Amino acid sequence: MSGKATLPDVPASRPVALAWLVGVLLVGILLSVMVGSVPVAPREAVRALLAGAGAADDPVVAVVRQIRLPRAILAGIVGACLSLAGLGFQAISRNPLADPSVLGVSSGASFGVLVAMLLGLAGPFANPAVLTLFAFAGALLAAVIVYAVAQVDGRLPITTLLLSGVIIGLFFTACVMLATALLAAAELQSVVFWLMGNLAPASGRTLAVLALVLAIGVAVLSREAGQLNLLALGEEQALQLGVEAERVKRLVFVAASLITGAAISAAGSIGFVGLIVPHAARLLLGPDNRALVPAAGLLGAAFLILADLAARTVVAPAELPVGVITSFCGAPLFIYLLRTRRGGEPL
Amino acid sequence: MNLVEVRGVTYRYRSGQGVEDVTFLAAPGELLGIVGPNSAGKSTLLRLLSKVVLPRQGHILIEGRDITSLNRVALAQRVAVVPQAFHVAFPFRVAEVVLMGRYPHATGGNWGHARDREVARAALEAMGILDLATRRMDELSGGEQQLVSIARALAQETRVLLLDEPTAHLDLGHQRVVLEILLRRRQEGQAATILVSHDLNLAAEHCDRLLLLAGGRVRTAGRPEEVITAAHLEPAYGCPVAVERHPVSGRPRVQGILNHRGAHGAASQHSPDVREAGRP
């Protein structure tokens, strides 16, 4: 064989797959603005989406642009945040079962939000960035505790990681309940609704804060994606290949907590997205994080938009919390992944 | 110039194990074997040489430069490690894993360019596993994964190669592939290869020099016929051994003795229990 010959090109299909994911996302957005109490035809929906600001008095444009599109954008950003958080936690714990909800990080973020509410920092006129910061702090606190508890001799065995995630999650859930009990009755209903996972219409400011946080998360994960691949060989091998493993892990840890916090503060506790989406993206594109970061972001956005569509339609005119849909998809997948884990790694 | 220079290095884990005042050299074209009983400090030495841990005392020089003055990437361009256990967490393909060996040579954190792919292909070819290139790691046998691990280290194109029990889980045919690679590196005369092994006979048969570690200290170092002697091995391993010559190569060959019969004088002093347990 000639020395010039190169390897079979494993990732050749990547740009095509990413283009498909963009397509899926666009279709998801289109569907979500079409379906609702007032159905909108596809052609009308496209026209409304592309209409200029002048068409604001057209009722179809108003429904699409002012009600359904912001909701789809919120769902998309939250889905992307949770998926990328899952991807990050999975890469640094070298395990596909890590997910913000499984690890108790989501509960920590919820607690952070409730603390902000108790302090009177939430509400319609509050700064959404403050809420996000509190959720971030809660998520980070929970994540630090979970990883500290789970660590055995500098390693992170999956059993202790999952157990400590469950326990810390339960603890923060109890804290949330305590805080809920302290809240005024007037706020109670919205809190309960939010806790269940709820993509209520969000203000432009909230969306802007979320988009900014997502951009930070994407930037950090994209920058570290290649080094996260090397972490799959084990921390020691990563060091021996030139990766500052500790720095990479810490950075991704903080970024994943930040985007978890942002997602939770905006939409409440929506479970398992960070488990389902990276798994699906890995099936499509393989485990290279350099491809998974854009893929998980796009797929996560599309997934939550479609899950929200389902939540709005299956019991229409009533509405399910979107967290119900994601958990119904995620829990069976979690069990499947747990039972079919490949050999070589002791449980 | 010596590629590896270890001078008076001491490192202790909290458990008390580690290495104490270890000194040795490895020159270009040399295949150095590090042997010794369990917890002698063999793997600790490899972790020190690859800067996973830093020596408490003493100095380590790679290509004449102190290891503390090299950043991780610069060190990874000079030293590659084949670990004892190689487990890849996600279902990466063989080609992707071998390409990871190119990371320290890549610019801007992106690797996989034409030259990287050529080097990775050559490494797979050298290990005789080019046909596995598109297979997923989790589909391979333990032995095949070990060959991938070595190919990954070769793709790193370093002058120093450290291998921790590279043949422990390999069948005879695969062992041969690995040994041929090591012998070819020696023949080319540019690189130093350090082989940690439990297999005294394998080390004695192929290494130019051996370093016998026990309890974290260097017990003796030298050519295999100087190191593989009952006088050195019995105190290190705490059991009687019989040493003979390999019929073809003339290198020393060693076997532990379970029964007092056939053991020479020194053996019985070290193993009164063995004698009593022997057949009547």
**Domains of chain B, residue spans:** 1-78+158-223, 92-154, 229-280
User: At a CB cut-off of 8 Å and minimum separation 6, what does A86 contact?
Assistant: A98, A99, A100, A256, A273, A274, A275, A277, A278, A296
Is B81–A243 a contact, with Cβ atoms under 8 angstroms apart?
no
User: Any chain B CB within 8 A of the CB of A226?
Assistant: yes
From B51, B52, B109, residue closest to A226, measured CB to CB: B109
User: Of the candidates A89, A143, A72, A2, which has an alpha carbon nearest to the alpha carbon of residue A307?
Assistant: A72
Mean pLDDT computed over A96-120: 90
Find chain B residues with C-beta within 8 A of A8's C-beta: 95, 133-134
Tell me if the bond preceding A317 is cis, omega within 30° of 0.
yes
In DSSP notation, A135-150 reads HHHHHHHHHHHHHHHH
Cα gap B41→B12, rounded to integer Å: 10
From A1, A4, A288, residue closest to B96, measured CB to CB: A288
Neighbours of A38 (CB within 10 A): 12
- Per DSSP, A286 falls in state -
Q: Which 3 state secondary structure label does DSSP give A126?
A: coil
* pLDDT at position B265 over 70: no
Is A233–B88 a contact, with Cβ atoms under 8 angstroms apart?
yes
* pLDDT at position B269 over 90: no
Cα of A242 to nearest chain B Cα, Å: 4
* pLDDT at position B267 over 50: no
Structure token digits, residue B3: 């590629």
Q: Choosing among B48, B78, B86, B90, which should be mutated to test the A contact, i.e. which has the most A CBs within 10 A?
A: B90
Q: Which residue type is seen at B251?
A: R
Q: What is the pLDDT of residues A241-277, one digit of tens each?
A: 999 998 999 899 999 999 999 999 989 889 899 999 9
Query: Do residues A108 and A139 lie in contact, with contact meaning Cβ atoms separated by under 8 Å?
Result: yes
Cα of B144 to nearest chain A Cα, Å: 14
Is A233–B103 a contact, with Cβ atoms under 8 angstroms apart?
no
Phi, psi angle pair for B158, to nearest 5°: -105, 160
Is A241–B121 a contact, with Cβ atoms under 8 angstroms apart?
no
CATH superfamily of B1-78+158-223: P-loop containing nucleotide triphosphate hydrolases (3.40.50.300)
SS3 sequence of chain B: CCCEEEEEEEEECCCCCEEEEEEEEECCCCEEEEECCCCCCHHHHHHHHCCCCCCCEEEEEECCEEHHHCCHHHHHCCEEEECCCCCCCCCCEHHHHHHHCCHHHCECCECCCHHHHHHHHHHHHHCCCHHHCCCEHHHCCHHHHHHHHHHHHHHCCCCEEEEECCCCCCCHHHHHHHHHHHHHHHHHCCCEEEEECCCHHHHHHHCCEEEEEECCEEEEEECHHHHCCHHHHHHHHCCCEEEEECCCCCCEEEEECCCCCCCCHHHHHHCHHHHHHCCC
* pLDDT at position B268 over 70: no
CATH of domain A70-337: 1.10.3470.10
Q: Residue B202, Cα to own-chain centre: how many angstroms?
A: 11
* Strand ranges of the sheet holding B217-222, from the earlier edge strand across to the other edge: B79-82, B160-164, B192-196, B31-35, B209-214, B217-222
* pLDDT at position B278 over 90: no
User: Of the candidates A256, A225, A257, which has an alpha carbon nearest to the alpha carbon of residue A243?
Assistant: A225
* pLDDT at position A1 over 50: no
Cα gap B257→B240, rounded to integer Å: 6
Q: What is the mean pLDDT of chain B?
A: 88
Is A236–B83 a contact, with Cβ atoms under 8 angstroms apart?
yes
Q: What is the pLDDT of residues A120-157, one digit of tens each?
A: 877 666 778 888 999 999 999 999 999 999 887 777 77
Of A41-50, A116-125, B5-14, where does the model show the most confidence? Answer: B5-14
Cα of A27 to nearest chain B Cα, Å: 30
Neighbours of B110 (CB within 10 A): 12
Phi, psi angle pair for B58, to nearest 5°: 90, 180
Strands B241-245 and B252-256: antiparallel
Q: Choosing among A237, A244, A288, which should be mutated to test the B contact, i.e. which has the most B CBs within 10 A?
A: A237
Alpha helix stretches (DSSP H) within chain A: 14-34, 42-50, 59-62, 69-93, 105-118, 128-150, 158-182, 185-195, 204-231, 235-240, 245-267, 273-285, 289-313, 322-339
Is B96–A240 a contact, with Cβ atoms under 8 angstroms apart?
no
Cα of B75 to nearest chain A Cα, Å: 7
User: Any chain B CB within 8 A of the CB of A8?
Assistant: yes
Is A241–B114 a contact, with Cβ atoms under 8 angstroms apart?
no
pLDDT of A160 reads 86
Cα gap B82→A297, rounded to integer Å: 35
Cα of B103 to nearest chain A Cα, Å: 7
User: Of the candidates B84, B57, B82, B83, which has an alpha carbon nearest to the alpha carbon of residue B68?
Assistant: B57
Diameter of chain B measured on Cα atoms: 71
From A7, A226, A286, residue closest to B117, measured CB to CB: A7
User: Any chain B CB within 8 A of the CB of A92?
Assistant: no
Q: What is the pTM of this model?
A: 0.89
Phi, psi angle pair for B46, to nearest 5°: -65, -40
Is A5–B121 a contact, with Cβ atoms under 8 angstroms apart?
yes
Q: Which 3 state secondary structure label does DSSP give A49?
A: helix
Cα of B185 to nearest chain A Cα, Å: 19
User: Any chain A CB within 8 A of the CB of B88?
Assistant: yes
Cα gap A228→A247, rounded to integer Å: 11
- The residues spanned by each domain of chain A are 70-337
Dihedral, CA of residue B152, residue B154, residue B157 and residue B158, to nearest 10: 100
* pLDDT at position B272 over 70: no
* pLDDT at position B39 over 50: yes
Cα gap A7→A10, rounded to integer Å: 8
Percent of chain A at pLDDT exceeding 70? 92
Cα gap A163→A145, rounded to integer Å: 12
From A11, A232, A242, residue closest to B88, measured CB to CB: A232
Q: Which residue type is seen at A14?
A: R
Is A94–B89 a contact, with Cβ atoms under 8 angstroms apart?
yes
Find chain B residues with C-beta within 8 A of A232's C-beta: 88-90, 92
User: Of the candidates A150, A173, A48, which has an alpha carbon nearest to the alpha carbon of residue A93?
Assistant: A150
From B71, B88, B121, residue closest to A6, measured CB to CB: B121
Q: How far apart are the first and last CA of chain B?
A: 58
Q: What is the pLDDT of residues B101-149, one digit of tens each?
A: 999 998 655 667 788 889 999 999 999 999 999 999 999 999 999 999 9
pLDDT of B263 reads 46
Structure token digits, residue A167: 């326990």
Is B114–A6 a contact, with Cβ atoms under 8 angstroms apart?
yes
pLDDT of A318 reads 84
User: At a CB cut-off of 8 Å and minimum separation 6, what does B176 contact?
Assistant: none
Mean pLDDT computed over B53-82: 96
